[in-house]
């Protein structure tokens, strides 16, 4: 039985001593790709199966994601670095918002198809583990259908961690399932947005998720994310923060959301500079206000720090530095599903040139990049998933 700690997140950065897992990493990428896409998912267009002509077709048929002039007009780098996030209201083109909505809805259907399937039909050995002895309960499945991050994630007893890391679950790395979402990941406008936020030319991909919030969603806790490499504690000056190997979370809302009861995003300006992912946590606004946030002031402006509840029109984007505290409001049962996809990119450490390993590039994609089976631009985005020199020997994104 594989535990969570047994799962190899970045297998090409580590020395593998498990013979079953090692076997899955020395075969062809086509074999591993086939194991990640069981026939019952019925998704022959999955980008994991693409050939050179498919990548060429993607480049030839791209259309704008954003009204770039509108996006640039809403961005100020100094404010972004000072406050920890930037909000871009209504910047998607109408066509992009429509295509994006359809893409995340399709990704959710693929995810639900996996939840409903007979997991005995999965090629577990091809994924590098023995078949699990336990199965998800009916209650687990019902709870996870129609939303994201609801399948049990604490252990790999039923194989959930294996399916997650290999992106058999479409909610984890949906760009590997849905052509339009792969278009977004590699789109020149997307990469230009990352260069604006990270203030550098070379950017690297970290992870990609569906963040589907259905009616009745109870809300998400206040939290922030680590970047690793010894940069996750202590108040940082703007110059120190700018130089570290930052990651930016990009949240895309093609249909937007309303007020406080529609699964909306909540943020706290300046919270990122405290670099406190272990401390700035709370299950709700009341406990956040009485706990971590109490009597706290912005390290740069000295203003009292407050929670901001966003309300966004369709086609909006939020870019948020990983250390920034954020949460999600509940969604009442009378609301429709909130559609969202997350793309995270990162930069190198300005002082060392080193890059933290990615938190979630599926093994098959790392292998394709290492073997030169992807477009050069995508290989560069994935390089830290297989290049031990670039990561200075680090194997996990939060290595000290």
Confidence bin at 11 (pLDDT 50/70/90) = low
Which domains, and CATH codes, for the chain?
4-385 (2.60.120.620)
pLDDT single digits (tens) 115-143: 999 999 999 999 999 999 999 999 999 99
Residue 240 has pLDDT above 70, yes or no: yes
Mean pLDDT over residues 247-271, rounded?
A: 95
Percent of the chain with pLDDT over 70: 96
pLDDT of residue 380: 97
pTM of the prediction?
0.94
Residue 20 has pLDDT above 70, yes or no: yes
Whose CA is closest to 184, among 209, 202, 211? 209
Percent of the chain with pLDDT over 90: 87
Whose CA is closest to 36, among 159, 168, 132, 177? 168
Residues 6 or more apart whose CB falls under 8 angstroms from that of 84 comprise: 267, 268, 269, 270, 271, 272, 273, 320, 321, 323, 324
Which residue in this structure is represented by tokens 């849905």? 178
Averaged pLDDT of the chain: 93
Listed range (18-27, 178-187, 314-323) with the worst mean pLDDT: 18-27
Confidence bin at 399 (pLDDT 50/70/90) = low
pLDDT single digits (tens) 46-80: 999 999 999 999 999 999 999 999 999 999 999 99
pLDDT single digits (tens) 380-395: 999 999 999 999 988 8
Number of H helices, E strands in the chain: 14, 9
Confidence bin at 2 (pLDDT 50/70/90) = very low
pLDDT of residue 4: 38
Residue 396 has pLDDT above 80, yes or no: no
Confidence bin at 3 (pLDDT 50/70/90) = very low
Instruction: Tally the C-alpha atoms within 13 A of residue 312's C-alpha that lie toward its C-beta.
Output: 29
Confidence bin at 5 (pLDDT 50/70/90) = very low
Listed range (18-27, 96-105, 193-202, 359-368) with the worst mean pLDDT: 18-27
Cα 60 to chain centroid distance, Å, stands at: 26
What burial class does residue 192 get, using C-beta atoms within 10 Å of its C-beta: 0-12 exposed, 13-18 middle, 19+ buried?
A: middle
Confidence bin at 308 (pLDDT 50/70/90) = very high
Listed range (14-23, 103-112, 280-289, 318-327) with the worst mean pLDDT: 14-23
Residues 180, 75, 200, 78: is their CA dihedral positive or negative?
Answer: negative
Rounded Cα distance, 352 and 67, in Å:
35
Residue of higher predicted confidence among 308 and 8: 308
Mean pLDDT over residues 195-216, rounded?
A: 96
Rounded Cα distance, 115 and 126, in Å:
19
Confidence bin at 17 (pLDDT 50/70/90) = confident
């Amino acid at each position: 039985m594989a535990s969570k700690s047994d799962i190899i997140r970045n297998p090409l950065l580590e020395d593998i001593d498990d013979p079953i897992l090692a076997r899955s990493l020395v075969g062809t990428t086509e074999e591993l790709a086939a194991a990640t896409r069981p026939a019952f998912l019925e998704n022959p267009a999955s980008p994991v199966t693409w050939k050179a002509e498919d990548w060429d077709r993607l480049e030839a048929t791209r259309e704008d994601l954003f009204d770039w002039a509108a996006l640039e007009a809403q961005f100020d780098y100094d404010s972004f670095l000072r406050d920890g996030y930037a909000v871009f209201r209504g910047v998607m083109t109408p066509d992009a918002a429509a295509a994006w909505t359809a893409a995340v809805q399709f990704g959710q259907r693929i995810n639900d198809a996996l939840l409903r399937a007979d997991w005995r039909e999965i090629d577990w050995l091809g994924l590098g583990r023995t078949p699990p002895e336990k199965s998800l309960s009916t209650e687990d499945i019902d709870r996870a259908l129609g939303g994201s991050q609801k399948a049990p994630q604490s252990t790999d007893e039923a194989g959930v961690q294996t399916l997650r890391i290999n992106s058999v679950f479409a909610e984890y790395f949906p760009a590997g399932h849905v052509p339009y979402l792969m278009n977004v990941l590699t789109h020149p406008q997307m990469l230009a947005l990352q260069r604006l936020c990270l203030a550098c030319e070379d950017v690297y991909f970290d992870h990609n998720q569906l963040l589907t919030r259905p009616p009745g969603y109870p809300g998400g806790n206040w939290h922030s994310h680590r970047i690793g490499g010894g940069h996750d504690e202590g108040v940082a000056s703007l110059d120190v923060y700018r130089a570290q190997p930052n990651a930016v979370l990009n949240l895309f809302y093609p249909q937007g959301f309303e007020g406080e009861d529609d699964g909306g995003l909540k943020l706290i300006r300046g919270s990122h500079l405290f670099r406190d992912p272990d401390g700035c946590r709370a299950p709700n606004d009341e406990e956040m206000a009485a706990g971590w946030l109490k009597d706290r002031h912005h390290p740069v402006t000295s203003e009292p720090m407050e929670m901001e509840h966003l309300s966004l029109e369709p086609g909006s984007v939020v870019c948020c530095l990983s250390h920034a505290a954020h949460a999600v409001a509940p969604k009442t049962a009378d609301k429709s599903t909130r559609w969202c996809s997350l793309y995270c990119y990162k930069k190198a450490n300005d002082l060392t040139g080193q890059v933290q390993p990615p938190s979630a590039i599926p093994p098959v994609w790392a292998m394709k990049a290492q073997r030169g089976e992807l477009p050069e631009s995508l290989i560069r985005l994935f390089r830290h998933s297989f290049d031990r020199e670039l990561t200075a020997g680090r194997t996990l994104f939060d290595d000290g």
